[in-house]
Structure 1
Amino acid sequence: MSAGTIIVIAKEPLAGRVKTRLQTEFTPHEAAALARASLIDTLTAVRATPAERHVLALDGTSGSWLPDGYSVIAQRGGGLDERLAAAFEDAYAGTPMLLVGMDTPQVTPALLGSDWSGYDAVLGLTEDGGYWCLGLREPDRRALIGVPMSTEHTGADQLARLESLGYRVKLLPPLRDMDTPPDAAAIAAAYPDLRLSRLHRRLQHAAHPAVLFEKALEGGRIVATGPDGRMVPGLSEVDRWRAPADAVDRIALSRCEGPVLDIGCGPGRIVTALAEQGIPALGVDISAHAVRLTTDRGAAALRRAVQEPLPGEGRWGSVLLMDGNIGIGGAPGVLLQRCAELVRPNGVVLVEVDPDDGLDDAGAIVLRSASGRRSRPLPWARVGSRAIIGHARAAGLLATEDWRTGDRAFLTFRRADVEPRSLAHLVR
């Protein structure tokens, strides 16, 4: 005997509502995309399994991801135990039913069509202590109501409940749920032809750089490498971004004249240090999380790209490009021209450069996370002191100081008393 009705119980794959545990590695939209792919794989396998009816018990609204051949019923009830019991009741058509979740995309028609003649119920456990399927001959709320859900012992508790009712239970092979990033990676590696697996590979190998920056700001580890495979200083030093300003930072900040604009402020250690000294300062960053971390420290920050209009243009006493941020956009000359527009006449532009004085590399970089994700190429420049002096001169900035402390190198420029050459000339 196999099921006459196969039920898939699922939640509409909307960003922020599904797979929140995947968001330690993926954005809410990426997690939702993985959930959608997993659901489609599951629905496809179920649809390919012979049965009288294929039913989707849905929390939400169906979309283009739903294949033909399904009857859709709305979930009802409070907790998951109530919604499972209701799904069996609402889908019952007088024949045995098998209910499966949306989190085991590796399920096959062979598993779903298993013969459980001679048994009252069928149960497929998951490796994390839950279960991926439950089959009943007819609805029975006693079998579900009050079973603790989403625990490490839900599967064992469900089996105990069935057996306490006198049910003879057939156990199907255990499967791995896709709940966490390691789960997704393991399933993708073991079942490479799944829709989920193809999407996972794309997300692993072509993440948006901002995603990995955001995860680094949350405490994850990233490494930035150039085309030569060499680690890019500054961008790989996540611990320094997140820590308070150190002695070298404070030496650099002693050159500043207020008010100060910190471009690419990250989590705000520089802006915070300036504020503690009573120097007016503003950080700008394209990362909403970086801005939030800065303001949580009590400092001022604005989510804005440096190329966009900024407060106080032409009136800043100092503009900072710390931690290798001279590389932003891969065009140091254009970035320095923008700094010259932002700073007041004779104001300071302070730039942290690569310790290699002769380096002048505008090749893209790649960010890599500890879990194996890597970004698509990000335009970035790595420049040493000799190259940056030439770029600055073209932007109307004159070098006034060149110094290094430990393994970090800095230059200070002042805006010349002449109009900087036009941005159009620099990018022509």
Structure 2
Amino acid sequence: MNTVIVIAKEPVPGRVKTRLQTEFTAREAAALARASLVDTLSVVEAAPATRRVISLDGAPGPWLPRGFEVVEQRGDGLDQRLAAAFEDAYDGSPMLLVGMDTPQLRPELLGFDWYGYDAVLGLTEDGGYWCLGLRMPDRRALIGVPMSTDHTGREQLRRLRALGLRVGMLPTLRDMDTPRDAAYLAAGFPDLRVSRLYRRLQHSAHPGLLFDQALGGTTRVVATGLDGRTVPSLSELDRWTAPADEVDRLALSRCEGPVLDIGCGPGRIVTALAERGIAALGVDVSPRAVSLTTSRGAAALHRPVQEPLPGEGRWGSVVLMDGNIGIGGDPVDLLRRCAELVRPDGLVLVEVDPDDDLDDTTPIVLRTLTGRRSTPLPWARVGARALIRHARTTSLHPTEDWRTPHRAFLTLRRTA
């Protein structure tokens, strides 16, 4: 029998599983880390061991079962913390240390037969290792081994053998560091707590989170209807993040300053207007979009369009590009809001769907390439003829309908 040590961090948002935050919030990543830790501790509970120790960075919580001795981590780098964990847990029996990132491990793996071996090592697919065992503490086995690299496992094995230790190898496992790792665990080990939580989170992301992550370049996102069919105008992130193209500039030539860009995204339209010397302001509900716009030297405000905005009733033009007439899922309500924002003879420029008769107010869903899906987002897709019908209930009068091979636009002017 031996001592099993779990080296772990308290699952606090922002301190654990930061690589999961390419698709999950800090709170969600911490919840996944906690579930993984609970799964791991459950396996250790069931393993044949004399003692169970947790070497903890942070404070224990209700997730820690009875029967575990808590030892506070000490040391600066991970190599020092691992060495200290062995020293602090040693009672004369062999010790097997595991991390909190391989919840799929099995109790029998922890009941290693030490006969003929001085050390144990279990590698991970990303080049690290998920467990390390030593008969007795030896700082020489750890200090100076490069940690958190794609060759940590190889270097650790080389160090153990250089010390003349006979090393027993355990199976290679995949640890949970990235969203793809979490997806692998959920598919291959569906009954784990972390897998069940992952599946719940996969289908309940806030649309704004996925949009911000797409703008930040951490993940690829497509917009679809509830039927799964792609909505092209809402999935062209490359065009949104690029400078204004020829069609954008042609549309903006209709604008009369000052211009308000509703749903400005990363700011290509506001920036193009500023380069023309036209005063412009972008508004967006995405903090990331506003940050990207201001980083380009343009002006933007983090605010929903239905909340009070600067210059109400005095804007020369209001712009709804990239299908943003769909914001909120009610085109009539949005057109009325635009009429409130422009001056008495002001212009509203709307990019509509190329299908003139399309009038679809079905919510949309944002999806990542790893399968994460947002909750339904109220949205509308409207063609020119449908938009004209909606405009009849407002004080906006259509003045021009024009298009390019792949995009369509309608301009409306406010009338008394």
Alignment TM-score > 0.5, same fold: yes
Deviation of 1:69 after TM superposition, in Å, equals 2.5
Check if 1:109 corresponds to 2:107. yes
SS at match of 2:336: helix
- Provide the alpha-carbon RMSD of the alignment: 1.7
Task: Write the distance in 1 (CA, Å) between the matches of 2:225 and 2:153.
Answer: 48
Encode CA deviations 1:162-220: one digit per residue, 9 max, x unaligned.
Answer: 22222222111111111222222222211111111112222333322122212321334
The equivalent of 1:146 in structure 2 is 144
Aligned counterparts, 1:140-179, within 5 A? 140-179=138-177
Task: Write the distance in 1 (CA, Å) between the matches of 2:227 and 2:162.
Answer: 64
Task: Write the distance in 1 (CA, Å) between the matches of 2:328 and 2:71.
Answer: 50
Deviation of 1:223 after TM superposition, in Å, equals 2.2
Deviation of 1:241 after TM superposition, in Å, equals 0.3
Greater mean deviation of Cα atoms: 64-73 or 143-152:
64-73
Check if 1:253 corresponds to 2:237. no
Task: Write the distance in 2 (CA, Å) between the matches of 1:227 and 1:121.
Answer: 54
SS at match of 1:328: helix
Instruction: Identify the match of residue 217 of structure 1 among 215, 218, 228.
Output: 215
Aligned counterparts, 1:233-272, within 5 A? 233-272=232-271
The equivalent of 2:349 in structure 1 is 350
Kept after mapping to 2: 8 A contact 1:233/1:324: no
Task: Write the distance in 1 (CA, Å) between the matches of 2:229 and 2:90.
Answer: 62
Aligned counterparts, 1:2-401, within 5 A? 2-3=1-2, 5-219=3-217, 220-401=219-400
Kept after mapping to 1: 8 A contact 2:320/2:351: yes
The equivalent of 1:409 in structure 2 is 408
Deviation of 1:228 after TM superposition, in Å, equals 4.5
Encode CA deviations 1:124-161: one digit per residue, 9 max, x unaligned.
Answer: 11122211111122222122111221122222222222
Kept after mapping to 1: 8 A contact 2:36/2:103: yes
Encode CA deviations 1:91-118: one digit per residue, 9 max, x unaligned.
Answer: 2233222111111111111111222233
- Structure 2 length normalisation: TM-score? 0.95
Deviation of 1:398 after TM superposition, in Å, equals 1.5
Task: Write the distance in 2 (CA, Å) between the matches of 1:351 and 1:360.
Answer: 14
Deviation of 1:229 after TM superposition, in Å, equals 4.0
Q: Count the aligned residue pairs.
A: 415
Task: Write the distance in 2 (CA, Å) between the matches of 1:15 and 1:211.
Answer: 16
After superposition, the Cα gap between the structure-2 partners of 1:124 and 1:321, relative to the gap in structure 1 and judged at 3 Å, is same
SS at match of 2:328: coil
Percent identity reads: 75
Encode CA deviations 1:319-364: one digit per residue, 9 max, x unaligned.
Answer: 1111011111111111112112221211111111111111111111
Gaps of 5+ in 1: 418-428
Greater mean deviation of Cα atoms: 6-15 or 264-273:
6-15
Task: Write the distance in 2 (CA, Å) between the matches of 1:345 and 1:16.
Answer: 49
Kept after mapping to 2: 8 A contact 1:12/1:62: yes
After superposition, the Cα gap between the structure-2 partners of 1:347 and 1:64, relative to the gap in structure 1 and judged at 3 Å, is farther
Gaps of 5+ in 2: none
Task: Write the distance in 2 (CA, Å) between the matches of 1:64 and 1:413.
Answer: 60
Greater mean deviation of Cα atoms: 73-82 or 14-23:
14-23
SS at match of 2:234: coil
Encode CA deviations 1:374-401: one digit per residue, 9 max, x unaligned.
Answer: 2222111111112212222223212122
After superposition, the Cα gap between the structure-2 partners of 1:256 and 1:198, relative to the gap in structure 1 and judged at 3 Å, is same
- Structure 1 length normalisation: TM-score? 0.93
Deviation of 1:31 after TM superposition, in Å, equals 2.4
The one-letter code of the counterpart of 1:101 is: G
Task: Write the distance in 1 (CA, Å) between the matches of 2:360 and 2:144.
Answer: 63
Task: Write the distance in 1 (CA, Å) between the matches of 2:142 and 2:228.
Answer: 55
After superposition, the Cα gap between the structure-2 partners of 1:228 and 1:74, relative to the gap in structure 1 and judged at 3 Å, is closer
